[in-house]
Structure 1
Amino acid sequence: MPDRRVVAAAATALALAVAGCSDDGSDAPATGGSAGTGSESAGGSTGGNAPFELVATDDLSVSPDGAEVLADCWNGICRWDAASGSLELVPDRGSVAVAPDWSTVATVDDADVVLEDLASGDTVTELAGLADDDVTDGSPVTAVAYSPDGELVAAAGLDDDGSGRLVVWSVDGAEEASYDTLGEVHRISFSPEGDRIATAGNGPVEVHDLATGESQELPSGDGGTVAWSADGALLLGPGADGQPSVWDAETWQLVAELRGTRLHEAAYAPTGTTLALTSLDETTVTVWDPDARRPMRLEGHTDDPGAVAWSPDGSVLYSVSADDGVLAWDPATGDAAATDFEVPAGR
């Protein structure tokens, strides 16, 4: 059940279709055809009667210098000036993941992942492999992610018997690794060193080691997302009841959990153990440091926020919802930033 576009409408549909199904099992809002958006999710079916979304909520990216914020919108890729909030629309394009250096974006063409130049839209590389001898039906891609150094891309898909598959390529198109997965993967996250990959979906959280080829299944629930701390020592994912749960990334012992919250999207701050996260069916954004303080709830969205992202220095937190678009916060105080981010015009 996907949470979740090669024209804007088709692009937003993978953004909205790559976001796929929602974690609660209902169809995610979507428009257009079947392509995708989101750094860590793609594929799935869209709901024909789903409400219209101005901005896709499955992914949010901040430029390496902190000057811009990017998300998919219903009519293209939206790029906001982080200081002024002004919007630049890249029309009739979409993405399912954004390279860390903002050089390329990933899109999906059937079972292939296509890397496009962010500025020009030209194809840079086509990554094939999900439709191999074991996966012959051209399975839809359900999740895509770049490694932190931008040298690797991982994507997940399904074959016709419902078994899952995760493939890792170098950005020049060479297949580096392949893993079977326990169910459909909706979220992929590389460790900071790029040597391990965590996945979440309609099965348990799994961790795949690129050096050894081994896979680890965690005692977890389904849905939600996965995120690594900046030092790679901690992994966040959904607990047995969907609550945000933190594991030690060496022993895999549970070290913290946030009861009473159902994990949707999350991101660790650039340093330390502070997390920003959103929850299904709540309009608040939560800032949580299990080591330092009680959760702080940020009020301001009028509809459910999805993805969250930090500025490179951790001084600004961004969140996105379908109707409100992007909001910015001071994560230290919980105050809303003065910047008013322009919302794309409706159809």
Structure 2
Amino acid sequence: MAPRIRGRPAHTPGPTFLSYTPDGTKLVTVGLNNSIRVFHTGSDAEPTTIDNCQDNNTAVAAANDFFVIGCEDGTVCKYSLESNTFEGILTRCTLPIRDVALSPDGQWVAVASDELVVKVVNTSDMDRVMYLRDQPRAAKHVSFDKSGSSLSVSCTDGKIYVYSLSTEEPELIQKVDGLIKSLETESESSSKVIWHPDGRAFVAPTATRDMQVMSRGDWERQRVFKDGHTSDITAAAWSPNGAMLVTTSVDRKLLLWDTKSQKVLQTLDASDIRATILAMAWHPSENILSYSNNDGELYIHTNFVPEQLGHLLTKGLQPAPFIHDPLQDTSGNARRPANGLKNGLPERSVRRGTPDSLDEILGMEVDDDETADGFIVDDDEAGYAEETNKYGKRPSNGAMAAPAVKRRPYTQWQPQIHESFQPGSTPWRGNRKYLALNLTGFVWTVDQETHNTVTVQFFDREFHRDFHFTDAWMYDKACLNEHGTLFSCPPRDTHPAQLYYRPHETWTTRTEWRTQLPAGETITAIALSDSYIVATTSANYVRIFTLFGVPCRVYRQKSSPTVTCAAWRDYVLTIGNGPVGGDGRTQLLYTLENVKRDEVCQSEDIVALTEGTELQSVFFSDTGDPCIYDTKGTLLVLLHWRTSGQAKWVPLLDTTQLQRLASGKKEERYWPVAVAQEKFHCIILKGGDQYPYFPRPLLTDFDFKIPLCTSPTQTPNDDTTPTESEPQKLEHAYVLSSVQLSLLEDLLSATRASHTQKVELSKKEVEVDKTLIQLLAAECREGEERGMRALEIVGLIRDRSGRMLEAAQKVAHRYGREVLGGKINELAERRLVGLVDEEEL
């Protein structure tokens, strides 16, 4: 049925504005004359008129029991909807009011005027005022988000200022530049931010006459409603469930858009619209769209959405149109929330919508006739909810007879598995994501809707040239090293998943290659070394190829589902989900093997993670030692991994204990990149960021600092940053150098050591002993009572030649510790006898 247009002369010719009450029972309009009209939904009677108001009203916002209007004389007034009377002036400005917005709870009204400052006034106590001062020019529009904790200000300088109102002092959390058009406050064109009902994004008019969606948090541009208007947009509104968007412009076209596809569903052209529309509002629950124009008229469209599109309006809450919706993204580094929760919400918390509603995406499932606590909802107001049996159900034929048993759905317990991820990759933010990040370079992709564009950029551009290509396969994973770049893509349409390897240098004309996986098999993670290419798949297969595509290993991983993998030279590390622990989470198990020798170094050993911690990244160091980084910010290295049954995870750095975070004033986390040159290389993420983003971030490196148990040098109430004593520093240096020495000894025992490596090993051994000598000197300075601890330190000296023990004796004599010197001499003699016995044997 065609929409029935009801036009009413609400005010004298001129700009007219409107607002529905949240319950939808009333519609308030204001205009140039000194009257306010209150229309009652569903009634053809004349509206209620409130006379003797200010002239030239420019804005209105309504709550259920009151409304607020802004006037050109600079006043913001409050009126009662119960008595239809003036209640008082909330605030005054020296210049005209341009817009007002009420918070969802009706407690605050935001006021935009020709002044530079935006006021946020309490509607119950006008003395409580917050001032937003960061915008340099006058504000044209203000908009609260769904929660009321954020306020967007559309400024005449062409920027959007987003404030957090969760504290007494408002905080500017984002300044969005290049989105809206720079407009004067009296212009009919709009730059107003319209928040989506799901609260995760907003839409705003652009200078190109489109409607651009922007996500909050990462403030990235998402989908665009484009090519619909030929003139500046003057008004827009989301449907109550967010499934549709309606827009209008100076060209006097009224367009109804589908949120999911950004396609125009319906068009009302200039023949149906007599003047430029300045304000639009959907009825909160019925199929009614109302708008007012610059000719003093109000139009009410009943059955605005045609019958063939009515199903869109009856859906549950729909998601905002993201390019890559984080609620639906299960690839890359996306994490599955805690068991029993989906996106931080209980599985059975609200009423279920249609199968493609946002509630369904969030996993909220409740019986249609029941709420989460089991009570019946009287949806059709038929009164059946007033009379129920002991089971909370309607009896048949109105009798209270025992009903047929209806089994309530029980949630089947499932273990919480660790989702698969690709080391070094990030989730989508807007239309971009990093596929790989390491010390060789960066690989990122940009979603162009019909295809992707991939860029590979190197740090050393004298050795390698950057390259860029159009990606029709939609690669979602990549690995990069000095020899080549490896990509993989998921199955799509009729194309199966595939691997693509592109070497950087070759001595033949064409050596890049592709290979396809069997139908139905998805790649969960890939790895690239100097010798092999590794792919773990959804079938729990580990597929290993040579660099130029010769398959050499295919086997099924014992621990499943697979999580990730890494490779270095001839070694491959695979990780999968293992047995379930007491907390309901699966333990991660890793396997390390030498592909060339077909030898397993460690088989199904446990990845050491603490409770509530997930694996964030896994990689090999520059010397070939496996390293992991967890979500709590701890870097660990695998020690003695070449000997079966002897491997152990040793922490090299706890980033939460970094000196830069000791004051507690700095909020940052770290994105792992590599372990090289005995340092941890990472990207610093400021504020609440969890992943690096564009422009390309800078790399930072931190020295290792093994978290030891040390005595604090200051009381807990001391506000100054704690400092380590000299013995504490030396203790840490000893433990760290011992770990590094063990790693080097393991490496040289398994390979043919070069002369340089042997010299390095000798230096490491001397470094450990020198640290012990320095620690001995520190103990000797503490006094004679530390003698036994000092002797223990001497006993840790590795040098068998006697030179270090002689140095220890000299230290003891220098500080007058003669008894200690005698004990050290006895230890030296025992070691000498032991060496002689060893030679005789």
TM, length-normalised to structure 1: 0.51
Please name the residue that 1:311 is paired with: 621
Between the aligned partners of 2:651 and 2:433, the Cα distance in structure 1 is: 36
Offset, 1:159? 1.9
Q: Does 1:165 align with 2:472?
A: no
C-alpha contact (below 8 Å) 1:57/1:306 kept by paired residues: no
Structure 2 runs not aligned, ≥5 long: 1-213, 220-322, 344-357, 365-418, 505-509, 579-584, 658-663, 668-687, 689-841
Between the aligned partners of 1:24 and 1:169, the Cα distance in structure 2 is: 20
Offset, 1:292? 1.4
Between the aligned partners of 1:299 and 1:108, the Cα distance in structure 2 is: 28
SS of the residue 1:145 aligns to: strand
**1:217-245 superposed Cα distances (whole Å, 9 cap, x missing partner):** 3325214111112x1x3111124613332
Please name the residue that 2:498 is paired with: 205
The correspondence for 2:562, drawn from 244, 259, 263, is 263
% identical aligned pairs = 8
What amino acid is the match of 2:545? W
SS of the residue 1:337 aligns to: strand
What amino acid is the match of 1:241? A
Between the aligned partners of 1:192 and 1:18, the Cα distance in structure 2 is: 36
C-alpha contact (below 8 Å) 2:527/2:535 kept by paired residues: yes
C-alpha contact (below 8 Å) 2:476/2:488 kept by paired residues: yes
Q: Does 1:225 align with 2:554?
A: no
C-alpha contact (below 8 Å) 1:18/1:143 kept by paired residues: no
Q: 1:175 to 1:228 in 2, by over 3 A?
A: closer
Between the aligned partners of 1:192 and 1:185, the Cα distance in structure 2 is: 20
Offset, 1:311? 2.4
Please name the residue that 1:334 is paired with: 647
C-alpha contact (below 8 Å) 2:538/2:561 kept by paired residues: no
Please name the residue that 1:288 is paired with: 592
Please name the residue that 2:38 is paired with: none
**1:126-148 superposed Cα distances (whole Å, 9 cap, x missing partner):** xxxxxxxxxxxxxx235422586
Q: Does 1:188 align with 2:498?
A: no
Q: 1:316 to 1:228 in 2, by over 3 A?
A: closer
Between the aligned partners of 2:515 and 2:624, the Cα distance in structure 1 is: 31
Q: 1:265 to 1:170 in 2, by over 3 A?
A: same
Offset, 1:19? 11
Q: 1:7 to 1:328 in 2, by over 3 A?
A: farther
C-alpha contact (below 8 Å) 2:637/2:652 kept by paired residues: no
Q: 1:185 to 1:335 in 2, by over 3 A?
A: same
What amino acid is the match of 2:497? P
What amino acid is the match of 2:488? T
Offset, 1:310? 2.4
SS of the residue 2:218 aligns to: helix
**1:298-343 superposed Cα distances (whole Å, 9 cap, x missing partner):** 24323542421222223352232x4x44351425132121546255
Offset, 1:278? 4.3
**1:13-53 superposed Cα distances (whole Å, 9 cap, x missing partner):** x9x9599414799867899xxxxxxxxxxxxx9x8799xxx
Q: Does 1:245 align with 2:543?
A: yes
**1:251-304 superposed Cα distances (whole Å, 9 cap, x missing partner):** 4324142433333222113x4323253449743241320421152412432354
Please name the residue that 2:575 is paired with: 277
**1:82-129 superposed Cα distances (whole Å, 9 cap, x missing partner):** xxxxxxxxxxxxxx67xxxxxxxxx9874xxxxxxxxxxxxxxxxxxx
C-alpha contact (below 8 Å) 1:154/1:167 kept by paired residues: yes
Please name the residue that 2:218 is paired with: 10
Q: How many equivalent residue pairs?
A: 239
SS of the residue 1:336 aligns to: strand
Instruction: Please state which structure has a larger fraction of its residues in helix.
Output: 2
What amino acid is the match of 1:326? T
SS of the residue 1:159 aligns to: coil
C-alpha contact (below 8 Å) 1:186/1:199 kept by paired residues: yes
Q: Does 1:141 align with 2:141?
A: no
C-alpha contact (below 8 Å) 2:524/2:537 kept by paired residues: no
Q: Does 1:298 align with 2:590?
A: no
What amino acid is the match of 1:21? T
Q: 1:243 to 1:153 in 2, by over 3 A?
A: same
SS of the residue 2:649 aligns to: coil
What amino acid is the match of 2:330? C
C-alpha contact (below 8 Å) 2:590/2:607 kept by paired residues: no
C-alpha contact (below 8 Å) 1:318/1:329 kept by paired residues: yes
SS of the residue 1:283 aligns to: strand
Q: 1:285 to 1:188 in 2, by over 3 A?
A: same
SS of the residue 2:623 aligns to: coil
Please name the residue that 2:469 is paired with: 177
Q: 1:334 to 1:49 in 2, by over 3 A?
A: farther
Q: 1:27 to 1:143 in 2, by over 3 A?
A: farther
What amino acid is the match of 2:623? D
Moved more, 275-284 or 16-25: 16-25
What amino acid is the match of 2:539? D
Please name the residue that 1:75 is paired with: none
Q: 1:278 to 1:343 in 2, by over 3 A?
A: farther
Please name the residue that 1:21 is paired with: 330
C-alpha contact (below 8 Å) 2:534/2:543 kept by paired residues: yes
- Pick 1 or 2: higher relative contact order, CA cutoff 8 A, min separation 6: 1
Between the aligned partners of 1:18 and 1:236, the Cα distance in structure 2 is: 29
What amino acid is the match of 2:432? V
Q: 1:285 to 1:255 in 2, by over 3 A?
A: same
Q: 1:60 to 1:253 in 2, by over 3 A?
A: closer
What amino acid is the match of 1:287? T
C-alpha contact (below 8 Å) 1:224/1:242 kept by paired residues: no
- After superposition, the CA RMSD in angstroms is 5.1
Q: 1:308 to 1:240 in 2, by over 3 A?
A: closer
SS of the residue 1:217 aligns to: strand
What amino acid is the match of 1:334? A
Offset, 1:246? 1.4
Between the aligned partners of 1:239 and 1:58, the Cα distance in structure 2 is: 12
What amino acid is the match of 2:500? V
C-alpha contact (below 8 Å) 2:618/2:626 kept by paired residues: no
Q: 1:335 to 1:264 in 2, by over 3 A?
A: same
**1:124-179 superposed Cα distances (whole Å, 9 cap, x missing partner):** xxxxxxxxxxxxxxxx23542258633x634253625xxx5352354699753223
Between the aligned partners of 1:335 and 1:8, the Cα distance in structure 2 is: 42
Between the aligned partners of 1:49 and 1:253, the Cα distance in structure 2 is: 41
C-alpha contact (below 8 Å) 1:208/1:215 kept by paired residues: yes
Between the aligned partners of 2:362 and 2:329, the Cα distance in structure 1 is: 13
Offset, 1:60? 6.2
Q: 1:329 to 1:213 in 2, by over 3 A?
A: closer
Between the aligned partners of 2:649 and 2:526, the Cα distance in structure 1 is: 26
Structure ID, larger Rg? 2
